[in-house]
Amino acid sequence: MDSSESAAGKQRKSAKRPPSEDAGAAEERLKQKKHSALCATLGGEDASVRLLEELVFGAEERLSERLAQQDSSVLLEDDDTHSVGSEDCGSERPAVRSAVWEDEDDELDEEVDMTHRFRRDFKKSEAENKMTKPRLQQRLKEQFQKAMGGTPSWAEVTAKRSQKKEPETEDEDESEELLRRTGNFIGSSDSLPKGIIKIKKCLNANSECPGGDQLSSVQFHPSAQIVMTAGLDHSVSLFQVDGKSNPKIQTIHLENYPVNKASFSADGEHIVATGMRNKLFYIYDMMEGKVIPVLSVRGLNEQRVSDFQVSPDGKYLLLSGSSGYLHLMTTKTREVIRSMKMNGSVCAAAFTSDSSKIFANSQEGEVFIWDVQSSKCLKKFADDGCIRGTSLALSRDGLYLACGSQSGVVNIYSQKDCLHTLEPRPLKAVMNLVTAATSLCFNSTSEILSIGSRADDEANRLVHLPSFTVFSNFPQFQKKTIFRTRCLDFSPQSGFYTVANNKGHALLFR
């Protein structure tokens, strides 16, 4: 009996469990219905309320499906809003977030006081009492390049990189553009336009020791930043050229010997000086500091030697004698090895750049071309329209020949035409002087021809090549500055131009 009752009780318990589970599910559904009815009464079914409901009360599968659908709809809505915004805004840029804190002083260029004793040397005029920091930095770069003799290789690499990153901007200050480097200012005709030349007057080259009388010679050293002056005050002086102070290096006094012409040797180690009274001339050895008088030259039958030319290879001195004679003297043995005779009197002569030929101009207006090795006259032609010749100059690149005349006309020829044409015609006749053209000089790149006259004040002009036009802004000063030109020269890299005048000053231009 007992066993049968216990078995019947277990069956009743097991039969009662399913109805209890069904009752729990029914209660949950009832709660959901009540909650949905409550949401409906509050104003509708909120999506967030539904998600919370399903999260609390189950239905994970429906939840995941609805989340996926909602994400896709949100992405589509974002795309639509972006497209609409782009159509509405057009080319408007997105708003830039402003900084939390800004200093108004950062936008202002701070100016530096240039009257301070440490910064006075960087001033280029008395009006520069204030200078911005970028301008002062540029000025310091110029001073460094000047001290280095040009831009160092490592600085050029840096400059090239910066040029690739940022475009070049034009400098407002013309003088700073000119003095940006101390190397070759005149690189090509593109960098030297005709019409107006960028030039600036500097302190006189011999300001520390002006000549006591008129200067007869001025010349730049072929390789160093040195200029030499010589004159009728019996002295030859050397100065270092920097454009600011131009300190004196040395002065050589030649007793009772007014110097008619002085010139550096081709290697720059010697100075040759001739006088006006006899055939005695001096050679100054710059390396040893000795003055060597040359009392006589073997094979030279002249009473006086006043003018000469140094060959570019340094092997010869061409001595101008009387009665149309030209004497070729070797610098090694100091003896005359050849002599050449031309019609009339010699007024000027010059070597070609390779030292193989000699061009000579006579006072009768004829130009002779000589071969150095054979001493033969290769060509002779009349200078067009010249009645009396006064000067002659050859360009270093072998392109041009310039011949000056007593009337002030300067004819510019092609050297090639002079050698191969029977009667060469001038490329241009420069008629900007009204007195005798006594001084002619080409710059190193043959883009400027300087002409001057010792017969009139301010008679000095710069001719642009190959346009053969005169620069209109030189000379242009309120008062007389150049006075009478005795001699002129360009520096080896054409950075400086100097004029020796009758006042004993060597004017310096940059």
Kindly give the confidence (pLDDT) of every residue in the chain, 510 residues in length, as a single tens digit, with 9 standing for 90 and above: 444 444 444 444 444 444 445 666 777 778 777 766 665 555 444 555 565 555 555 555 555 566 556 555 544 444 444 444 444 444 445 555 655 556 555 555 678 887 777 777 777 777 777 888 888 888 888 877 766 656 666 666 555 555 554 444 444 455 555 444 444 444 444 558 888 999 999 999 999 999 988 999 999 999 999 999 999 999 999 999 998 899 999 999 999 999 999 999 999 999 999 998 889 999 999 999 999 999 999 999 999 998 999 999 999 999 999 999 999 999 999 999 999 999 899 999 999 999 999 999 999 999 999 999 999 999 999 999 999 999 999 999 999 999 999 999 999 999 999 999 999 999 999 999 999 999 999 999 999 999 999 999 999 999 999 999 999 999 976 788 999 999 999 999 999 999 999 999 999 999
C-alpha to C-alpha distances, 339 to 261, 310, 352, 380, nearest whole angstrom: 21, 16, 18, 17
Q: Is the peptide bond preceding residue 475 cis, with omega within 30 degrees of 0?
A: yes
Distances (CA, A) of 422 to 115, 145, 265, 368, 374: 65, 50, 35, 13, 21
In sequence order, which residues have a C-beta less than 8 Å from that of residue 381 and are 6 or more positions away? 366, 367, 418, 422, 423, 424
Can you tell me which residue has the tokens 């609390």? Answer: 56
**Residue 40, CA distances (Å) to 36, 57, 156 in order:** 6, 18, 80
Amino acid 132: pLDDT = 84
Phi, psi of 127 (to 5 degrees): -80, -15
pLDDT for position 81: 46
The answer, yes or no, to whether the previous bond of 247 is cis (omega within 30 of 0) is no
Measured distance CA(243)–CA(254) in Å, rounded: 28
pLDDT at 208: 93
Place of tokens 């072998």: 398
Enter the tokens of residue 166: 């940022």
Strand order across the beta sheet in which 215-220 lies: 215-220, 226-231, 235-240, 248-253
DSSP 399-439: -EEEEEETTS-EEEEEHHHHHH-SS---SEEE---SS---E
Largest CA distance in the chain: 173
Residue at 508: amino acid letter: L
d(Cα 110, Cα 105) in Å, to the nearest integer?
A: 9
CA proximity to 407, closest of 430, 381, 380, 388: 388
**Residue 90, pLDDT score:** 43
Q: Which residues pair with 230 in a beta bridge?
A: 217, 236
Q: Is the pTM of this model over 0.75?
A: no
Q: For residues 500 and 58, what is the distance between their CA atoms, to the nearest angstrom?
A: 109
pLDDT at position 364, please?
Answer: 94
Q: By three-state DSSP, how is residue 147 classified?
A: helix
Sign of the alpha-carbon torsion through 139, 144, 147, 153: negative
**395: which 2 tokens?**
């360009």
Which one, of 122, 102, 104, 103, lies nearest residue 112 by Cα? Answer: 122
pLDDT of amino acid 212:
87
Helices (H), 166-298: 174-178
Contacts of 172 (CB under 8 A, 6+ apart): none
Q: Is 363 left (phi over 0), alpha (psi -120 to 50) or beta?
A: alpha
401 DSSP β-pair partners: 394, 413
pLDDT of residue 62: 59
Q: Rounded distance, CA 268 to CA 263, Å?
A: 9
Helix (H) or strand (E) holding 228: strand 226-231
Tallying the residues shown for the chain, one arrives at 510
Q: In the chain, how many H helices and how many E strands?
A: 7, 29
- Phi, psi (deg, nearest 5) at residue 131: -150, 140
- Rounded Cα distance, 135 and 171, in Å: 10
Closest residue by Cα to residue 286 from 233, 241, 224: 224
DSSP 201: B
- Type of residue numbered 482: I
260 Cβ contact partners less than 8 Å away, ≥ 6 residues apart: 216, 274, 275, 276, 306, 307
Tell me how far apart the alpha carbons of residues 57 and 16 are, in angstroms, rounded to a whole number: 25
Confidence (pLDDT) at 88? 45
Q: According to the model, what pLDDT value does residue 5 have?
A: 47
- The distance in angstroms from the start CA to the end CA of the chain is 138
